[in-house]
Chain A
Amino acid sequence: MASQEQLSAIKRAKVLMVGAGGIGCELLKTLALSGFQDIHIIDMDTIEVSNLNRQFLFRQSHVGQSKAKASTFTGILQAFSLVARDAVLRFRPNISITPYHANVKESRFNVDFFKEFDVVLNGLDNLDARRHVNRLCLAADIPLVESGTTGFLGQVTVHLKGKTECYECQPKPAPKTYPVCTITSTPSKFVHCIVWAKDLLFAKLFGDKNQENDLNVRSSDTANSSEHSEDVFECRKDEDIERYGRRIYDHVFGHNIEVALSNEETKDVLPEKQTKENGNKEKGCAADDVSAMVSLSLKNPQDIWNLVENSRVFLEALRLFFLKREKDIGNLTFDKDDQLAVEFVTAAANIRASSFGIPLHSLFEAKGIAGNIVHAVATTNAIIAGLIVIEAIKVLQKDNNNYRMTYCLEHPSRKLLLMPVEPYEPNRSCYVCSETPVSLEVNTQRSKLRDFVEKIIKAKLGMNFPLIMQGASILYEVGEDLEEDMVAIYAANLEKALSELPSPVTCGSVLTVEDLQQEFSCSINIKHREEFDEEKEPDGMLLSGWVEAPVDKDNNKPIGNDESTSNALPSGETLEGEKDDEIQETSEVVEAFTGKKRKLSEVSEVTAPDPSGPSSINQNKPKKLDIDDEADELIISDDWESLTKKKKL
């Protein structure tokens, strides 16, 4: 048990947990058992069935209707934070747990809020939120213990302002995106087909019609080029759904559906379906329970359907959308919990894959890819939670010399399954904690302020409510108490090219950008550049000095698996052919493990201890590792190496 001093420190502590999901449940339980008495939790999610395999504080009875069905739900969506609290109070009734069912980015969770705590423990699942909390902890000067898990891998890191790296000192791989042409014309992997099916076809047919969509770029050039795409995808007046479905099929897949179907079965597809339709399956079927698999009696989501089955699912799913969910059409976005959407996307991706000689995948696999599902088990979360609490206790005791980052490995490295490493000193080039300026190359005469704000300030620099100044002039800001005329000026500014702003931004300009909520400020040096490569630099802007993992050749134009804020880790791409293999590609969860002062060029999208490890670990180390000499030389197992080889440039 903890010593007396530890126990007093624990009892007095006020702890903030951000995120109450997988790690959160285990963490809350372990904190409560360890004697913590004042715990606050912020979490915005509600409970789903797929959470129950590891989030043991939740029960089947807590599960409400899925988020996709929220518009017609009858169940009660139970908030993580509230349920977790009640569950823990059952075995520790006398402690105080304060839940906030909210997004941590809300303005009430400002620096003053964070200052109330002795330590902040993150159990989040997305990069955005982590960066936000990182900045608040820096501004409030409160220690942050970060963590993450994927499958059997996990890590815990400790961040103290001025003493260790902040969460953003090390590069975090950005969500994977793919060039337009790969998606529209030259797919070579199944994930390309999924992206096409989800972000192009599904979006075109069921999403916002006003959104730009690259679907019109066809792989085969046999289409009549004078045919307007709008006409093609719209269901014509008096056109029956079956006909429409076949027409769409013919159009997008570039071949006749009859030919595709006639290969396998002698029976005609449609009449068979119609008899089934007349049966009981559709009776009493709420709009939300509609499923093509059910109507086609395809029971196992792990089966890989053949081309005929995929075609049937495609048509049936399309038909069911129009028949049963007509009101959703035009405003749907893909949701992994929307069964019909998953079926449609799986079928469409498979049919496309088949045309390109890419292996087909089951619904189960397709769902994982399309939904960026992070595979997860209770054990890793439990281990990580234990490690978090150990570090939290050290933080409370200000045990400065003993903080550790700990990596939980799937395969032992030099006998170690749990590998402790000393934290690194702050990265002096970190634009977040060391206030180093960044540089932006941009065509100041062409690029508008709006692009700068959306693509650089928000997307790359992670600021949510920016204030942009040049010298003493404010070019743009967001806020609740702005005067109307200022709001109008800023709105007008957004549409202007940088060089045409009231305070012109040209080569050599220095902009100061702040996010008042994060209390974070950054300087940007502007450099003018005339030309940008459309494929490689589609934004027409290049940010440097901003620490990002280097891109590999696929990471260009932003058509890709969306990293929505509620999603788990970016890019749950399964390595091709390794369907049930142990190591999936992770991103920020397990970071590269190298020496302190890495050059950007050495940084790679590696998710394992860096194979070049030994020499760089020993160099530049501020203090001696608290480990045997033996452990300094890491032997990386074969699996890691093969994985990292695939990921290097």
Chain B
Amino acid sequence: MDGEELTEQETALYDRQIRVWGADAQRRLSKSHILVCGLKGTVAEFCKNIVLAGVGSVTLVDDRVVTDESLPANFLILPHENHYNGKTLAEVCCDSLKEFNPMVHVAVETGDISTFGVEFFEKFDAVIISCCSLGKKKLINQKCRKLSKRVAFYTVECRGSCGEMFVDLQDYKYSKKKLEETIECQIEYPSFEEAISVPWRALPRRVSKLYFAMRVIEQFEDVEGRNPGETSIADRLGVLKLRKELCETNSLDESQIPDALLERLLTDTREFPPVCAIIGGILGQEVIKAISGKGDPLKNFFFFDAMDGKGLIEDISGPSTRS
């Protein structure tokens, strides 16, 4: 980088992780700015991870007021009423996160970020959103892509024992060492909208069923105007009907989106802490990789299902961006 050394304090604190990714990467992390929107359990985990990793700053967006409902999977919220009474999720999480690493600047931003201009996003190196509608996801992704500066974009959703993560690094170039050589790599990522527009029948045969299931629920919420995460088992029939329609449109056999899977997703709507830890961990690693420029980033979806225990990567891209 530009010759700025890590401080003695940073070297001591980050010793163990510098041994993983090097001092250079650590320096880049310390200059990075992350925007996080939607503070449920998984995102809380993610924030903890990047704060510990020593990013430059984390900006939190979530104007929802803390309620008893928010408590279960989010360890950043201390259950004392005085602590959270009347405060927003962002405010409460901000206070807790600051404690994990005083060297990281943690701040709150209020308002609906989908109304913010493109220049707002330019301040950041990575944007992570969760608990938001399909429309909002696409919109924010687009704003990130409009900038000349590359702003990494991630979404994450967890329902019960399952979790999904999406990555868009646009046109990503990085170098890595293979044996004795340094090789240059380049990966092109589709936007979220592009990815989910890939016709289902064009996808490889064994794509995770969880991908399709999440799309069905996502569509359902979009069409029915539901708040993200509010679809429940009561909507079972509606969801199954939508599945049928989507499968017909896409010439996909309905068995690719099993009833049992959909029902699980509709029943366990709340986050399951172990899954939050896992997805929050994977997301943390990905953001660290993208910012430090070290390590192969995943492209472009990651799924975890505690039922079978697999954590797998799916490349959902059109022919132009298929690896």
CA distance in complex: A296, B131 (Å): 55
Q: Give the residue of A33, A53, A417, A581 whose beta carbon is less than 8 angstroms from that of B302.
A: A417
| B164 contacts partner chain A, Cβ-Cβ < 8 Å | no
CA distance in complex: A452, B180 (Å): 46
| B132 contacts partner chain A, Cβ-Cβ < 8 Å | no
Q: Contact: A582 with B49, CB < 8 Å?
A: no
| B273 contacts partner chain A, Cβ-Cβ < 8 Å | yes
| A50 contacts partner chain B, Cβ-Cβ < 8 Å | yes
For the complex with contacts A30-B274, A580-B22, 17 further pairs of A-B residues with Cβ separation under 8 Å are: A1-B72, A1-B270, A1-B272, A33-B273, A52-B52, A376-B16, A376-B20, A377-B21, A378-B49, A382-B277, A386-B278, A390-B309, A417-B298, A417-B302, A420-B309, A577-B180, A630-B206
Q: Which residues of A contact B309 (CB under 8 A)?
A: 387, 390, 404, 406, 418, 420, 626
Q: Contact: A50 with B280, CB < 8 Å?
A: no
Q: Which residues of A contact B16 (CB under 8 A)?
A: 50, 53-54, 373-377
Q: Give the residue of A90, A93, A411, A578 whose beta carbon is less than 8 angstroms from that of B177.
A: A578
| A627 contacts partner chain B, Cβ-Cβ < 8 Å | yes
Per-residue contact bits, chain B 76-98, to A (CB 8 Å; 1 contact, 0 not)? 11110000000000000000000
Q: Which residues of A contact B48 (CB under 8 A)?
A: 56, 378, 382
Q: Contact: B274 with A378, CB < 8 Å?
A: no
**Given A91-B77, A93-B79, A418-B310 in contact, is the A30-B277 Cβ separation under 8 Å?**
yes
Residues of chain A having any CB pair with chain B under 8 Å: 1-3, 26, 29-30, 32-34, 49-50, 52-54, 56, 59-60, 90-93, 151-152, 299-302, 364, 368, 373-383, 385-387, 389-390, 393, 404, 406, 408, 410-412, 415-420, 577-582, 584, 626-628, 630-631, 638-639, 642
CA distance in complex: A237, B13 (Å): 43
Least CB distance from B108 to A in Å reads 20
Q: Contact: A418 with B278, CB < 8 Å?
A: yes
Q: Contact: A91 with B278, CB < 8 Å?
A: no
Least CB distance from A145 to B in Å reads 12
Residues of chain B having any CB pair with chain A under 8 Å: 5, 11-24, 41, 45, 48-49, 52-54, 72-73, 75-79, 99-102, 160, 177-180, 206, 268, 270-278, 280-282, 284-285, 288, 295-296, 298, 302, 304, 306, 308-314
Least CB distance from B317 to A in Å reads 14
Q: Which residues of A contact B54 (CB under 8 A)?
A: 53
Q: Contact: B274 with A90, CB < 8 Å?
A: no
CA distance in complex: A412, B52 (Å): 25
**Given A56-B48, A375-B16, A578-B177 in contact, is the A383-B281 Cβ separation under 8 Å?**
yes
CA distance in complex: A32, B77 (Å): 13
Q: List 27 A-B contacts (CB under 8 A).
A: A1-B271, A33-B72, A33-B73, A33-B75, A34-B273, A52-B101, A53-B14, A53-B16, A53-B54, A56-B100, A152-B20, A302-B23, A376-B19, A377-B20, A378-B48, A378-B281, A380-B281, A382-B49, A386-B274, A387-B278, A404-B309, A415-B312, A415-B314, A417-B298, A418-B311, A580-B24, A582-B20
Q: Which residues of A contact B274 (CB under 8 A)?
A: 30, 34, 385-387, 389-390, 393
Q: Which residues of B contact A584 (CB under 8 A)?
A: 19
Q: Which residues of B contact A377 (CB under 8 A)?
A: 16-17, 20-21, 53, 285
Q: Which residues of B contact A386 (CB under 8 A)?
A: 273-278, 281
Least CB distance from B207 to A in Å reads 10
Least CB distance from B305 to A in Å reads 10
Least CB distance from A607 to B in Å reads 15
Q: Which residues of B contact A59 (CB under 8 A)?
A: 99
Please indicate which of the listed interface residues B12, B22, B309 has the most CB atoms of chain A within 10 Å of its own CB: B309
Q: Contact: B75 with A378, CB < 8 Å?
A: no
Q: Contact: B49 with A300, CB < 8 Å?
A: no
CA distance in complex: A52, B16 (Å): 9
Q: Contact: A417 with B311, CB < 8 Å?
A: yes
CA distance in complex: A105, B11 (Å): 34
Q: Contact: B49 with A379, CB < 8 Å?
A: yes
Q: Which residues of B contact A582 (CB under 8 A)?
A: 20, 295
CA distance in complex: A648, B308 (Å): 33
Q: Give the residue of A53, A578, A581 whose beta carbon is less than 8 angstroms from that of B17.
A: A53
Q: Contact: B284 with A382, CB < 8 Å?
A: yes
Q: Contact: B19 with A373, CB < 8 Å?
A: yes
**Given A417-B302, A642-B179 in contact, is the A26-B277 Cβ separation under 8 Å?**
yes
Counting from the closest, the 6 A-B pairs by CB-CB distance are A418-B311, A420-B309, A375-B19, A386-B277, A580-B22, A383-B281
